[in-house]
Amino acid sequence: MKGDGRVFRRGELWWVAYYHEGREYRESSKSRERKEAVRLLRQRVGEVSAGVLQGRPVSRRAGTHRVTMLGVLDLLEQYYQLNGRRSRINDYCLRRLRQRFAGYTVQACTSLAVTHYMADMQRQGRKAPVINREIAVLRSALRLAYRHDLITRLPAIKLLPDHAVRNEFFTRAEVEALLPCLREYLRDVVLFAYLTGWRKGEIIGLEWANVNRSGAVIRLEPEQNKNRTVRVLALQGEVAALIERRWKARKAGRTLARHVFHRGGEQLTEFRRPWLAACHQAGLGSRMFHSLRRTAARDMCLQGIPEKVIMSIMGHKTRGMFDRYNIVTEADQRAYMERLFEFNRGQ
């Protein structure tokens, strides 16, 4: 596998090259057959993983041969918690990785082992985006182990090609049909997501401390959004009316809710089930909540709002990320082509 070593020909004989702690070792297979060199390479790579180099024990960084993948995955989970990156998806990926690599050390988690795992997931019918998400978490764990000197070199792990294009979005009529089907505490959440394109975590984590009603602005601190930068949203029009409505609904019993969007004064957490139930009731099928963010990007573009302004509202850090959300449909193209036709006919 890529990253484990290589075989090459020198004269009539085949040679192998493999690595230990960043240093390349070469050895002749003493054979004219390539398959013999491949066999020798696999043997040597296995020996290095077991702590043997050319028949002699090799020195490792202190204790690396005793570090398990479970310990590394626990370290990554702790890193997610400290940096506010813990999510339902990451927790799910960590749980599955623990099941697979429970008996592995960091030295045994080679690119070959990861490739076998990806092949097993494909045989189970899992799609490329799902596999890539899980393997990306595994790569993060290995990189963290490398930074902490728990692994001598990083295995070469390549994600699967993902050609799926997500082009699901909502129309205003669909949102209007969906709102009555939602539970009351979710209606303003959905409407706010539709109008601003904010991420779900940013919406349910929004506090009144972030809202300046007199200045008509919302300010997100770096630790409250994905890009770790200050974000500002001007309150105007329908968004301003929504915030005023939430201000009047902040009282929960004898206390005042700390969060703008709450349920009985408590912060909202996961609402996947009531969301899907409302979508089915409105005849929309199994829509994704994240599609509201994609819809907002598209609608803002169609209204002629400059791209830089849209990126500042939605929190896109790069133009590449913005382009993934700016979806143009055939209906949009027909509308613009009709305008072009009218312009040319007027000329």
pLDDT value of position 314: 86
Q: Where are the beta strands (DSSP E) in 40-164?
A: 52-53, 56-57
Specify whether the backbone of 247 is left (phi greater than 0), alpha (psi in -120 to 50) or beta: alpha
Look up the pTM and report it: 0.61
Band (137; pLDDT cuts 50, 70, 90): very high
The answer, yes or no, to whether residue 129 has pLDDT greater than 90, is no
Beta bridge partners of 57: 52
CA torsion 316-319-325-327 (nearest 10°) is: 150
Listed by start position, the domains of the chain span 6-59, 65-147, 172-333
The answer, yes or no, to whether residue 61 has pLDDT greater than 60, is no
Q: Which of 159, 155, 153, 161 is nearest to 101 (CA)?
A: 155
**Range with lowest mean pLDDT among 60-64, 76-80, 340-344:** 60-64
Crossing angle of helices 88-100 and 128-147, in 10° steps, is 80
Cα distances from 146 to residues 37, 59, 83, 152, in angstroms, run 30, 17, 19, 7
pLDDT value of position 43: 82
Residues 6+ apart with CB under 8 A from 334: none
User: Tokens 């409505």 — which residue?
Assistant: 245
Residue 16 — φ and ψ, nearest 5°?
A: -125, 155
Mark 174-194 as b/e (b = at least 16 C-beta within 10 Å).
bbebbbebbeebbbbbbbbbb
CA distance 90 to 137: 7
In the chain, % of residues over pLDDT 90? 34
- Its CATH class, for the domain covering 172-333, is mainly alpha
Tell me if 142 sits within 8 A of 155, measured CB to CB: yes
Report the pLDDT averaged over residues 6-32.
87
pLDDT value of position 261: 94
pLDDT digits (tens, 9 = 90+) for 105-124: 887 888 888 999 999 999 99
Determine the Cα angle at 151 with ends 48 and 81, to 5°: 150
pLDDT digits (tens, 9 = 90+) for 172-209: 999 999 999 999 999 999 999 999 999 998 999 899 99
Beta bridge partners of 262: 267
pLDDT digits (tens, 9 = 90+) for 235-294: 999 999 999 999 999 887 788 899 999 998 898 888 989 999 999 999 999 898 989 998
pLDDT digits (tens, 9 = 90+) for 155-182: 889 888 865 556 688 999 999 999 999 9
Q: How many helices (H) and strands (E) does the chain have?
A: 14, 12
Q: Which of 284, 40, 17 is nearest to 177 (CA)?
A: 284
pLDDT value of position 168: 81
Residues 6+ apart with CB under 8 A from 247: 208, 213
Average pLDDT, the chain: 84
Band (63; pLDDT cuts 50, 70, 90): very low
